[in-house]
Amino acid sequence: MKTIARTPHLVDGSRSVHPTGRFPTASLVLVGVLPLLPLLLAVVDDRAGFRILMLSLVVATATLAIALVVWVLSLRERRVRIAATGPLRLAPDPRVGVVLWLVPLAGMLPALAAAVAQTQEWETLGGRLLEWGPYVLGAVSLGGLVREIVALRKPLGLVIDPHGLRGVRGSGALDISWDEVGDVAPVGPHGPKLSIAIAGRAPAIIDAHRLGTDPAAAAAVIAFFRDHPGDRHALADGVAAMQAITAAP
């Protein structure tokens, strides 16, 4: 799905989209150096089984590092990302969807490498960690892959149309009319969570990475159409809907 990223003045941007209130540079650097350890071990050790296992871990950890960078960069203060066509849909950067599939796929590589090494009787280090660890990681990764497959049943992002709200892939199912929408606000002083109060039900808490949108800005968009039913006809076209919001006094 093609998306459009904009930074309209719906909010002042003073609320950080990061959980700690600051860009997580140190955490990203730490994750970024993780692939270096198995790479070093693969270079210095010439046992075929051990080497193929370490190289598979290099790929898995490097994929995870890239995914975390994409995940963090997918949100920015004030930025709103919408689908380029169709009704108004707060949708994530397409790269987020790609890495959410790549991470579990890469996580299964060590299990495959371990199976090949055992089948070919290639020499490797002993111990339960190297014997069972790759299969445990593979099982967890397979679970993550199944979760993404099951999530395909839900709409990508948050669809905001004249009838109400529906979505969100990767979060709890949401399908409510405008009459059911209550208070909408970001959760906490900073961070990527959006809360939507629903009449007669517990609030929906959505990770804004799944929306590609600053949760404060997402709350402003939803609140505008909740409070201005006469403008909801514009929701049939997402670009026109955003123009209606920015043009409002």
> What domain range includes position 174?
158-247
Average pLDDT over residues 14-37: 93
Does the structure show a pLDDT above 90 at 160?
Answer: yes
Residue 126's pLDDT is: 65
The answer, yes or no, to whether residue 3 has pLDDT greater than 90, is yes
Residue 50 has pLDDT above 90, yes or no: no
Residue 105: both structure tokens together: 């796929």
For 190-234, the pLDDT digits (tens) are 999 999 999 989 999 999 999 999 999 999 999 999 999 999 999
Paired residues of 14 in beta bridges = none
Q: What is the pLDDT of residue 203?
A: 93
**220, 15 in Cβ contact below 8 A?**
no
Are both 140 and 192 inside the same structural domain?
no
And the tokens for 33?
Answer: 């150096």
The pLDDT mean for the chain works out to 92
In a domain? residue 42 = yes
Residue 68: beta bridge partners? Answer: none
Share of the chain above pLDDT 70, in %: 97
- Read off the pLDDT of each residue in 69-96 and give the average, rounded to a whole number: 95
Instruction: Give mean pLDDT, residues 186-190.
Output: 93
Each residue of 98-142: pLDDT tens digit?
A: 999 999 999 999 999 989 988 887 877 666 666 788 999 999 999
Provide the residue type at 5 as one letter: A
Q: Which position has the higher pLDDT, 130 or 58?
A: 58
Indicate the pTM of the whole model: 0.88
- Examine the domain organization and report whether 187 and 136 are in the same domain: no
N-to-C CA span, the chain: 32
Same domain, yes or no: 103 and 213 = no
Q: Do 126 and 219 have their domain in common?
A: no
| Distances in whole angstroms, Cα of residue 112 to Cα of each of 17, 39, 224 | 37, 18, 51
Q: Report yes or no on 98 lying in a domain.
A: yes
- 141 and 71 in a single domain? The answer is yes
List pLDDT tens digits, range 30-49: 999 999 999 998 898 888 88
Q: With 0-12 CB in 10 A as exposed, 13-18 as middle and 19+ as buried, what is 229?
A: exposed
